[in-house]
Amino acid sequence: ITMNVDMKLEPKTTSITDEYDVDWNQKLGTGISGPVRVATKRSTGDKYAIKVVVDRPKAQQEIQMHWMCSGHPHVVNLYEVYRNELQFPGESESQSRLLLVLELMDGGELFFRISKQHGFTERHAAATTMQIALAVQHLHSLNIAHRDLKPENLLYKDSSDESPIKLCDFGFAKLDNGDLMTPQFTPYYVSPQVLEAQRRHRRERSSVSVSSPYTYDKSCDMWSLGVIIYILLCGYPPFYSEHPSSRRAIDRSMRRKIMNGTYNFPEREWERVSEPAKDIVRKLLCVDPHERMSIEDLVQHPWLNEEVPDTLLQSPVFMSNKANMQDTIALHSSHVRNMRIPDRPSKLKPVESAVNPILVKRQQIMRQGEEGRKMHSPSPPPPPPPYIKAVRDVIACCLIPKISLNTEEKKTALIDAVARAVKEWSENEELMSALKEQSWNGTSFNDEVNTYELGCALKALLKGLALLEHQPR
């Protein structure tokens, strides 16, 4: 199929059911802007995917972007579009919707497919990367930025070993005329420039003046491609939160790593990966978009054009189990912290010589209170419950360096502190859950304890409790 990029695709206004039998009950998945269903063309018996989106300017832009890119061997084909009035269950009235007739992709998403493979090698990773790169090259040759490159948008045509990979979902795609400003992204794959656009966007919404509009370009796709290649080679992302349980899509620590391009190649998964593969990752995960590898340079890189080692990779093991991936991320994060935090004792100033703004303010309030003191004085605040001190002792054992002389003494001190905390506060589910995650069996720990994670979890628990205790009644 060869599409005319200058030709605008006009939706048909006849009913899609005149030509297709649509299975409204079977959903293949949900894209950025709408669900996808299966349909059979009556005249041929061929099956297609039908994507349903509300008829809005954004959806119309998605259709035109997809139409321009359609016809490439590694882009999911868009065949035709219908504009119909539809009313789904739960809606009070019908509304205009666009129905995209797409190539049916039965082979599954990229990472899901790889997670089921036995014997996934670096050579397979290079071949996979080349197919994705060719799709991106096609888009960039048309001056289109996809802006949402991620494994969920890379699909296999069928279940055969020779099945091609194809790029889909153009909901964020846009012509790159030097005016890309909207912060569209998926956290793990977002480039520093898109995060900066988000920061500027928030400042503008907060009425903080910005000197000039901040724009980015289609090089954001190259960063996302670098993240995908990194995961293909080891099984987990290069940028992640140090606190995986965080509810925020992208927290401060992860944002900082992306903005600074802070990542590494852990030896256990990367020691057998070839240097050309690492070279590609380094050149794609480059913070400066002007220094970042272009798509033309990528498709010409030796790793994609010369003999690649047939080295077995561990990535399918981690891709097959999300919990396993989180454990790997947490362990790797712990190793990085241990290398980063200097091993030195804490030095605290005497309280009387420290300049603490909170204490200064409190002293001022106390002096004002003494000057206008009434005949009666308010009752002193009640002492904190005993469990507060017990939990604080556990936090100290976890987070203060060299709290005891050696590792064995520290472990004993931690076990004693945890036992006291459990005795004082066994009814608190969050405390018991945090301990259970570190394999606490009631008297000791079954496995090695991640003291940093435990300490942070308990700090968050006490902080949340303090907020609750100070809520206005």
* Residue 32 pLDDT class (50, 70, 90 cuts): low
What's at 23, amino acid-wise?
D
- Asked whether residue 117 is domain-assigned, the answer is yes
For range 353-368, the mean pLDDT: 64
**Residue 79 sits in the same domain as residue 141:** no
**Residue 23 sits in the same domain as residue 96:** yes
Task: Specify the higher pLDDT residue, 82 or 117.
Answer: 82
pLDDT at 13: 95
pLDDT for 210 beyond 60:
no
First vs last C-alpha separation in the chain = 68
For range 388-412, the mean pLDDT: 74
Q: Which DSSP letter does residue 12 get?
A: B
For range 345-363, the mean pLDDT: 57
CB 56 within 8 A of CB 112: no
* Residue 338 pLDDT class (50, 70, 90 cuts): very low
**Residue 253 sits in the same domain as residue 227:** yes
pLDDT at 193: 85
**Residue 84 sits in the same domain as residue 118:** no
CA atoms of 447 and 453, how far apart (whole Å): 14
For range 129-151, the mean pLDDT: 95
Task: Specify the higher pLDDT residue, 447 or 107.
Answer: 107
pLDDT for 219 beyond 60:
yes
- Asked whether residue 225 is domain-assigned, the answer is yes
Tell me which H or E stretch contains 357.
helix 357-371
**Residue 287 sits in the same domain as residue 420:** no
**Residue 95 sits in the same domain as residue 119:** no
Task: Specify the higher pLDDT residue, 140 or 429.
Answer: 140
What's at 260, amino acid-wise?
N
* Residue 321 pLDDT class (50, 70, 90 cuts): low
Minimum mean pLDDT range among 289-303, 311-325, 356-370: 356-370
Q: Which tokens belong to 429? A: 């589910």
pLDDT for 302 beyond 90:
yes
Angle at 3 (CA atoms; ends 9, 45), nearest 5 degrees: 80
pLDDT at 339: 36
| CATH code of 54's domain | 3.30.200.20
- Asked whether residue 47 is domain-assigned, the answer is yes
- Asked whether residue 354 is domain-assigned, the answer is no
Angle at 419 (CA atoms; ends 413, 422), nearest 5 degrees: 140
Q: Which of 104, 129, 160 is the last residue of a domain?
A: 104
Identify the domain containing residue 81 by its residue range: 12-104
**Residue 85 sits in the same domain as residue 222:** no
**Residue 115 sits in the same domain as residue 91:** no
pLDDT at 109: 92
**Residue 175 sits in the same domain as residue 35:** no
**Residue 171 sits in the same domain as residue 288:** yes
* Strands lying side by side in the sheet with 35-41: 20-30, 35-41, 47-54, 95-103, 78-86
Task: Specify the higher pLDDT residue, 243 or 275.
Answer: 275
For range 54-61, the mean pLDDT: 92
For range 132-145, the mean pLDDT: 96
Task: Specify the higher pLDDT residue, 162 or 387.
Answer: 162
| CATH code of 117's domain | 1.10.510.10
DSSP structure string for 430-471:
HHHHHHHHTTB-SSSBSS---HHHHHHHHHHHHHHHHHHHTS
pLDDT at 409: 72
pLDDT at 383: 65
Q: Using one digit for the tens of pLDDT, what is the confidence trace for 67-91?
A: 999 999 999 999 999 999 998 877 8
Say how many residues make up the chain. Answer: 473
CA atoms of 366 and 378, how far apart (whole Å): 12
pLDDT at 110: 93
Task: Name the residues annotated as catalytic.
Answer: 148
* Residue 335 pLDDT class (50, 70, 90 cuts): very low
CA distances from 151 to 214, 226, 319, 398 (A): 28, 12, 11, 37
Minimum mean pLDDT range among 54-58, 129-133, 240-244, 263-267: 240-244
Q: Using one digit for the tens of pLDDT, what is the confidence trace for 39-51?
A: 999 999 999 999 9
Q: What is the mean pLDDT of the chain?
A: 80
pLDDT at 465: 64
pLDDT at 376: 52
pLDDT for 284 beyond 60:
yes
**Residue 133 sits in the same domain as residue 18:** no
Long-range contacts of 194-201 (CB under 8 A, 24+ apart): 194/147, 194/220, 195/250, 195/255, 195/258, 195/259, 196/259
- Asked whether residue 356 is domain-assigned, the answer is no
pLDDT for 419 beyond 90:
no
pLDDT at 352: 54
**Residue 137 sits in the same domain as residue 238:** yes
- Asked whether residue 311 is domain-assigned, the answer is yes
For range 440-447, the mean pLDDT: 74
- Asked whether residue 357 is domain-assigned, the answer is no
pLDDT at 443: 76
Total number of domains constituting the chain:
3
pLDDT at 131: 98
pLDDT at 274: 96
- Asked whether residue 411 is domain-assigned, the answer is yes
Task: Specify the higher pLDDT residue, 72 or 119.
Answer: 72
pLDDT for 328 beyond 90:
no
Q: Which of 75, 104, 133 is the last residue of a domain?
A: 104
pLDDT at 226: 96
Q: Which of 81, 104, 127 is the last residue of a domain?
A: 104
Residues 367, 368, 372, 375, Cα dihedral to 10°: -50
For range 93-115, the mean pLDDT: 92
Minimum mean pLDDT range among 58-67, 223-232, 370-379: 370-379
